[in-house]
Structure 1
Amino acid sequence: MPPESIPFSHLARAAYCPRQLYYAEKYDDHEPPAEVESVRELAFRYRELGDASADELASLPIDVSPASYRERLDSLAARDDWAELADPTTRDAFLSGRDCHGVAHKLLEVGDGPPIPTVVSPGTPPENGVWKPQRVRAVAAAKALAWEREREIPRALVEYPAHGIVRTVRLTTRNKGAYRRTLWTVRSTEGVPSRVENREKCRECAYRTRCGTKTRSLKTMLGL
């Protein structure tokens, strides 16, 4: 892979908070918690879970009621890409592009169209669309796949299996711009990045108790 290639996971962290990526690098803390894998595994059990009892579903790491979850799986089953979504051609595909590399949890091969990389998120989806970290990660996966296949990849998917929801991320100018800005941030940041303005993010951050390094702006250093 290219020497300056950035992992998808690093881009996702930086899209959430560059300072979080700094601490993850500092403490070599890039492995996801064990519970993340149990949630991601749901994305490979959709057919089975569609026939599961309410008690069986209640015992799983889903974040909605069994009845709601079953309804959402029924909606997924109506998708044109359902067969591939439930039983993907390729699982955990390592992709290496010009600027980034990482794992697409699924690669969907639907008809004669371009392959669709999929990112499986253990989190909660927003009311509409996809959170920025997953959008950036999805675009990164699509970019890397496009580089490998030497063809345009116009979209990726983000799955939230704990909620039975799948969202599309198209490679629009806006989404590609967010990816490029995040890539630039990762490559250009030196030292401890400034804190994000949205302190709501800090409440969920694993490094909130250690994020105490002071940063000084140019105005501060000049006494302004």
Structure 2
Amino acid sequence: MFDIFSAIVKLILNNWIFQWFINCGPSDSYGKMAMFYVFLCTGTYVVDAQIALVRLVTRNKYTLESFNDVPFLSRSIREFWGRRYNRVVGSVLRESIFEPLRRLFSFSPTSAALASFVVSGLLHAHVSISVFGASSPLPAFTFFLLHGIACCAEAYCPIVLPKPIGIIVTHVFLLLTTPLYIGLFTRAGPDFFMLNAPSLLNVKWLPQLPVPNFCPK
């Protein structure tokens, strides 16, 4: 039941943010990027629905791995990337980059993790050029390199922040670095979002939240 409820709530919020975005012009304001973060996190309603279906059909014998694990509760950058956000891609990078480097070349965990972020940065730099026509791949690559360095620094930092403070510090760092990559999406404008509209956007049975008449600043 929780997965069904989660899917419905995420679907409503995702459609609401989408409709808000298509009414706003291109912008890389921190407010809009914060909303895009929520848009990304709520876009996993399809996975939640699939999890509910698999559990129902198999009578809770089997399930699927969730795409995210409440990334808003991440108390560190390592926790955000390693256990909470985009777990599917995280598993792919772990199995294809991190573990082979550890096993075949005796990389330290820190070096292998940084190499994984470098590969991820190169992939996203390619996306920034091929999809968004960015003038330079460096900002997108720098975003993931900075996050890789932050994860490595955390591994050697003996200080463990209280959970509320850790969550705030983590998301301040995320917000301050998002213009390097997420800004590509928020600067793309309504045309990009219309080409990538969420499913079930205008179905009549879905509750519709009122769309604000202002844009995130």
Regarding TM over 0.5, the answer is: no
Q: Which structure shows the higher helix fraction?
A: 2
Give the TM-score range, shorter chain: under 0.3
Q: Which structure shows the higher strand fraction?
A: 1
